[in-house]
Structure 1
């Protein structure tokens, strides 16, 4: 089944080895659109697969004002819960802590994608570009039940 992203436009910055992505969410505004907010999503590094790319959301996020003047943590209680459940390991937690520091430093220093925030805020998808298409999923190997009883 094909799915279509709705309600917002998204511009995403995600180096493959980073433990977070920086997202710019745009919403309709009259005849155009405006930047609703920046959003730092903490996640496992991206892994290329035969079907596309895999990552894993680590629940904690930072919501940043469009003008970068304020920010707030989101879902820290959920992150604490997945830590208690062992879904986020101690090693991953250390990586998330380092990524939190890195993302906040980028925000405060106006580096990384925040260095050109005004230009990114004005960025527009070229309507002549074709919509991206994901490859068709490959079939999973058949599992065989053990025969030894």
Structure 2
């Protein structure tokens, strides 16, 4: 689980969603990902899809504007489906931009992926855990 206890109200953070892989013998297209149970005190401003080869790995949890994860320099592939080859892990990963709107309580626990394989659309829920706490909140 990725977490940080130095968040501030108004600050934005990027959190990576679970990595995807195709264990089948047929290609599939990743269409969408979403966080299902967002903790109180956070709002989603957008989703993006990044290529881990371009981002030098996976940005698990970074504040927006961090020099360690300069989002504006990376291509966002969320405009179209991302194809996963058969029996392969994906270099692409979904990330969510979160804005801290108040005292944060709880943590995320589930994400949903939508994908298509051979013309059939599927949804799959996966564990998805990250936590942000306000700086000095003492939790």
- Which range, TM-score by smaller chain? under 0.3
Richer in strand (by share): 2
From the CA coordinates, give the structure whose radius of gyration is larger. 1
- TM-score w.r.t. structure 1 length? 0.21
Richer in helix (by share): 1
- TM-score w.r.t. structure 2 length? 0.22
